[in-house]
Structure 1
Amino acid sequence: MKKMLQFSLLAVLVLSILSACGSNNNNNASPAASPDAPASSKAAESEAPSSAPAEKKDVTIKVFQFKVEIAEALQKMADAYEQETGVHVEIETHGGGEDYSALLKATLAAGEEPEIFNSSGWSGFDPYVDRAVDLSNESWAKDLVEASKAQITRDGKLLGMPMNLEAYGFTYNKDLFAKAGITELPQTLDQLEEACKKLQAAGITPFALTSEWWSMGIHTLNMALANQPDPAAFIDEIKAGTKTFKDDPIMKQWIRLVDIMFANGQEKALTTDYNTQVAEFAAGKYAMIQHGNWIQGMVDEITPNMNLGMMPVPLLDVPQVFTGVPNNWIVNNKSAHPDEAKAFLNWMVTSETGKKFITTDFKFVPALNSIAPNPDAVGKIAGDFATFSQAHPEQVKGWHWDRFPDGITQQWGTAMQEYLGKHSTSDELLGKLDKAVADIVKR
């Protein structure tokens, strides 16, 4: 992602969080009605006509989605939509420890066609282009954050609705850092290593690790990709075989970062799934976790008001965070009810009920300028990100893993699992990263 796109996305994320604090929007006014209760007739009358889909009985639209963090809230949103419109929305969630992409492909191959499904952008979206309904003329399309559009646009057509904006680095427990006597965040890998020693000396395990392939094969590896002078050009060269991970100097520094993390994690990291990892971090067992603002809701359920922050990752001795669009809502043109699916998405981002779910229940930073985030809901992780990124915009990097064809990141995840389990050397790890690209691109 080029710097201008990064800064555009950053500006919206930071300014929307901060400006929402003083706005008089519905998200920050008196408490909203319960999502399980029907919207009042008065509220319905106040909405724009485009947000009130025509009532259709005996219709079911199926949503096949991956974001486990919002599964319960999304079901409540679906129930609220049915109460308002009579249209039943069936939610099927696959994520966390499951390979969502593989399950989606298997579902479609079996002839099942959900009305709405999730897809990443860039190359990750390529397998679904022929199924995607053009959403360019939907009322909400003009309100999308500019930098969120390119990853889901083909031939000038907007083929999905960006789900939200997210950022990650190392989410950390400020109280545990204070207990270990860490008064300043690490600015270099040497300082990160020293901070881990202080935590260990205080009886605190520094990192909550997971063996999930997507966490290591996507988010961890993206730290190296994003630090290339021109990530898109570097990735094109890797795919073309004119450059390799094994010979790249930035990858050598990245290996040291990975080694620090893996050497300072919990003993059973290789058998720790995502839900367990987040739950144990939320219980105060570990000082840092490599996730972003998407875990805020899960943490809040276990330990409300936990004293958290987002720590920039000190790779290449320049602390940085990483931001982008995690996924998109795709309307399936091969499904039975694509028009009803479009109506549901339209309601989601234009009705007051839908916007309340997005900002307060999902705890999302919206990808639409027309929806102001709820600063109380997005939490301390996103708040710390906003503070850092406003002060250091040049240290905010993009998300680049979806520039590779599907299948590569899964193999990267497997290679990372082997390295975590000490079944390969660092050189062998980098070689396997290269081989994964070569194997998939040759197909």
Structure 2
Amino acid sequence: MRKIMVTLLSATVLASMLSACAKQTETGTNGGTSTTPAATAAEKKENKKDVTIKMFNYKVEIVDALNKLVDEYKKETGVTIQVETHGGGEDYYALLKAELASGSEPELFNNFGFATLEPYLDRATDLSGEPWVKDLTEIAKKPTTVNGKLYGMPMNVEGYGIIYNKALFEKAGITGEPKTLPELKDAVAKLTAAGITPFIATNEWWSLGMHWTNVGLANQPDPVKFMSDLKAGQAKFKGNDVFRKYLSLADLIIANSQKDKTTTDYASQVSNFATGKGAMMIQGNWTQGDIDKIDKNLKLGVLPLPIDDQEGSIMIGVPSNYIVNSKSKHPEEAKAFLNWLVTSETGKKYITHEFKFIPALTTIKATSEDIGQIAVELQNKSGKAKGWYWDLFPDGVTQGLGAAMQEYLGGTVNQDQLLGKLDKAVEDIIKK
């Protein structure tokens, strides 16, 4: 079996990558020029095709803008792209597997890379020869590189931490950013005393099983080895000192969140935060567009995720990749769309200004106005970033981790029981 090469995410590389993305350029919003030659109106009309391709999309946050983007693509090329979106509280991979089992083969689908790519390698098209590959940052290639070949186009680079409302912090008399767990506890106490709910939490399995749990993974002395040992049965969550420390952070958040946290989905979490019903939430720059729809003038900051009296870190990685399905009817049209997406002025504008993405290609430039406050805050703190490690687990593990964390969020299990359930979530999938 072909093995996926796994390399630790480099905070230094990410820092330079994000810094390049956040700088303004003299050439305008996206910088550079399209590699697609200009065509006359007559030539464009003649070149239009009556073709329909399907995209299985994971990114719920960009669905409105994505639908507008594919409308633009149809105007230019005649090619129809049907977008089917499954994310948020849905089990994306279970739905993708069902789609494929039914005989439907979408031309494009999203995949996290690393271990989650292995079941789909028989469908993944080698994209190593595509013209945009030379412009990818090295870190962005890693999730879908297998035996030296690239099997996916990275969507973007993302980061997460504790997003906070600067006005509510000021109202509570918090003058500096808390960086350690004791400092965060002090901020929570001040917010509570001012009658402000400190945190807005969500019950979404993916947020709990991926983003929350990753704090315990990323803070291991060697996260890749720890996860390898977990899968081999040579390490456990239960009895791990770092995970005990991580639960101190989780306990602080759970104890100081809104009353209906066990029934709060992603959309409600972001909406409640954006309307000032709470001062903080664990989320990332993907929330910027939804927050802006509610209040564009909200002043936001991003705190690190501390687990003890040492300064915490934000978490940065590649969230998803576009896979071209070689078993679909029109894989070449799917490749053409991806090339257009990252080379045309329309595509680049949507990536930065509409999707609020931190680009994964050096040829796509983004201003702070494009990518938003949260992405800029993450960029400013990227020098001490830690990586995303949940994608090193095979599909199914993070769902189990999320289910266990949902029980902990609801107070139905204690710490020992939770850690035992986290271990079982790994064992149940690895044994299959």
Q: Secondary structure at 1:291's aligned position in 2?
A: strand
Shift >6 Å, 4+ stretches? none
1:16 aligns with 2:21: yes
CA–CA distance in structure 1, aligned partners of residues 64 and 256 of structure 2: 33
1:383 aligns with 2:376: yes
Equivalent runs, 1:41-440 vs 2, <5 Å: 45-46=37-38, 55-316=47-308, 317-389=310-382, 393=383, 395-440=384-429
Q: Is the 8 A contact 2:158 2:318 kept in 1?
A: yes
The alpha carbon displacement at 1:9 in A equals: 2.2
1:134-176 per-residue CA deviation (whole Å, 9 max, x = no partner) reads 1000000111110111210111110000000001000100110
Relative to structure 1, is the Cα distance of residues 305 and 423 closer, same or farther in structure 2, using a 3 angstrom cutoff?
same
CA–CA distance in structure 2, aligned partners of residues 149 and 87 of structure 1: 28
1:8-46 per-residue CA deviation (whole Å, 9 max, x = no partner) reads 1221112321x2x2x1233168xxxxxxxxxxxx99754
Relative to structure 1, is the Cα distance of residues 358 and 267 closer, same or farther in structure 2, using a 3 angstrom cutoff?
same
The alpha carbon displacement at 1:261 in A equals: 0.5
Q: Is the 8 A contact 1:117 1:329 kept in 2?
A: yes
Aligned partner (choices 13, 25, 28) of residue 26 of structure 1:
28
1:244-279 per-residue CA deviation (whole Å, 9 max, x = no partner) reads 111110011011111001001000000010011101
Identity %: 52
Q: Is the 8 A contact 1:359 1:366 kept in 2?
A: yes
1:5 aligns with 2:7: no
Indicate the RMSD between aligned Cα atoms, in angstroms. Answer: 1.8
The alpha carbon displacement at 1:54 in A equals: 8.9
Q: Is the 8 A contact 1:6 1:147 kept in 2?
A: no
Relative to structure 1, is the Cα distance of residues 43 and 139 closer, same or farther in structure 2, using a 3 angstrom cutoff?
closer
The alpha carbon displacement at 1:406 in A equals: 0.6
Partner of 1:39: none
Relative to structure 1, is the Cα distance of residues 214 and 4 closer, same or farther in structure 2, using a 3 angstrom cutoff?
closer
Unaligned runs of 5+ in 2: 1-5
CA–CA distance in structure 2, aligned partners of residues 43 and 107 of structure 1: 35
CA–CA distance in structure 2, aligned partners of residues 401 and 76 of structure 1: 31
Relative to structure 1, is the Cα distance of residues 4 and 292 closer, same or farther in structure 2, using a 3 angstrom cutoff?
closer
The alpha carbon displacement at 1:342 in A equals: 0.4
- With structure 1 as the length reference, what TM-score do the two structures score? 0.92
Relative to structure 1, is the Cα distance of residues 255 and 155 closer, same or farther in structure 2, using a 3 angstrom cutoff?
same
CA–CA distance in structure 2, aligned partners of residues 418 and 340 of structure 1: 45
Q: Secondary structure at 1:357's aligned position in 2?
A: helix
Q: Is the 8 A contact 2:49 2:78 kept in 1?
A: yes
Partner amino acid, structure 2, of 1:437: V
1:32-67 per-residue CA deviation (whole Å, 9 max, x = no partner) reads xxxxxxxxxx997548xxxx9993522101011011
Query: Higher mean Cα deviation, 115-124 or 93-102?
Result: 93-102
Q: Is the 8 A contact 1:135 1:160 kept in 2?
A: yes
Partner amino acid, structure 1, of 2:419: L
Q: Secondary structure at 1:168's aligned position in 2?
A: strand
Q: Is the 8 A contact 2:156 2:358 kept in 1?
A: yes
CA–CA distance in structure 2, aligned partners of residues 118 and 4 of structure 1: 21
CA–CA distance in structure 1, aligned partners of residues 15 and 389 of structure 2: 16
Q: Is the 8 A contact 1:55 1:87 kept in 2?
A: no
Q: Is the 8 A contact 1:54 1:85 kept in 2?
A: no
CA–CA distance in structure 2, aligned partners of residues 339 and 228 of structure 1: 42
Partner amino acid, structure 1, of 2:16: A
CA–CA distance in structure 2, aligned partners of residues 388 and 9 of structure 1: 10
Partner amino acid, structure 2, of 1:348: L
The alpha carbon displacement at 1:100 in A equals: 1.1
Partner amino acid, structure 2, of 1:9: L
Partner amino acid, structure 1, of 2:323: I
The alpha carbon displacement at 1:374 in A equals: 2.9
Q: Secondary structure at 2:202's aligned position in 1?
A: coil
Q: Is the 8 A contact 2:30 2:352 kept in 1?
A: no
Query: Higher mean Cα deviation, 222-231 or 93-102?
Result: 93-102
CA–CA distance in structure 1, aligned partners of residues 351 and 189 of structure 2: 40
Relative to structure 1, is the Cα distance of residues 271 and 4 closer, same or farther in structure 2, using a 3 angstrom cutoff?
closer
Partner amino acid, structure 2, of 1:439: D
Q: Is the 8 A contact 2:48 2:76 kept in 1?
A: no
Unaligned runs of 5+ in 1: 30-41
The alpha carbon displacement at 1:182 in A equals: 0.8
Q: Is the 8 A contact 1:66 1:95 kept in 2?
A: yes
Query: Higher mean Cα deviation, 186-195 or 430-439?
Result: 186-195
Q: Is the 8 A contact 1:25 1:372 kept in 2?
A: no
- With structure 2 as the length reference, what TM-score do the two structures score? 0.94
1:299-322 per-residue CA deviation (whole Å, 9 max, x = no partner) reads 001001210011111223222100
1:104-151 per-residue CA deviation (whole Å, 9 max, x = no partner) reads 111111111110000001101111111101100000011111011121
Partner amino acid, structure 1, of 2:147: D
